[in-house]
């Protein structure tokens, strides 16, 4: 009986160890890039063949630029279209908001 208990204890220990190792050695799933990482990727593509100080300046400007929200666009376009009426205003707003 004592021998059986020892064998069961060793087997349970080996099983627990292998299960633990399997769960901790599996690669973590790739997560979606953060906003900053996406921005960096976009700026790198736009920088193209720039080198040295020119590239540094471009990257600094690109990474610090604030993305204009749709609401901000609407405010600006409405202000610019204040004197326009009817179809002229409609065409202007369509063009302005699509930029």
Supply the DSSP string of the chain, one letter for each residue.
-HHHHHHHHHHHHHHHHHHHHHHHHSPPPPPPPPHHHHHHHHHHHHHTT--HHHHHHHHHHHHHPPPPPHHHHHHHHHHHTTT--HHHHHHHHHHHHH-
CA–CA gap between residue 50 and residue 63 (Å, rounded): 15
Q: Residue-wise pLDDT tens for the chain (99 aa)?
A: 666 566 556 656 655 555 555 555 555 556 777 878 888 888 889 898 999 999 999 999 888 877 778 888 899 999 999 999 999 999 999 998 887
Which residues, at least 6 apart from 73, have a Cβ–Cβ distance to it below 8 Å? Answer: 96, 97, 99
Domain map (residue ranges) of the chain:
34-67, 68-99
Say what the pLDDT of residue 90 is: 94
pLDDT of 67 reads: 74
């Amino acid at each position: 009986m004592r021998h059986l208990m020892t064998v069961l204890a060793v087997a349970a220990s080996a099983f627990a160890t292998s299960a633990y190792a399997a769960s901790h050695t599996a690669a973590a799933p790739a997560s979606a890039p953060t906003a900053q990482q996406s921005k960096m990727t976009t700026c790198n593509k736009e920088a193209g063949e720039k080198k040295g100080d020119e590239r540094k300046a471009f990257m600094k400007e690109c990474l610090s630029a604030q993305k204009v929200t749709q609401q901000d666009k609407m405010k600006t376009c409405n202000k610019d279209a204040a004197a326009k009426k009817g179809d002229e205003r409609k065409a202007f707003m369509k063009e302005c908001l699509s930029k």
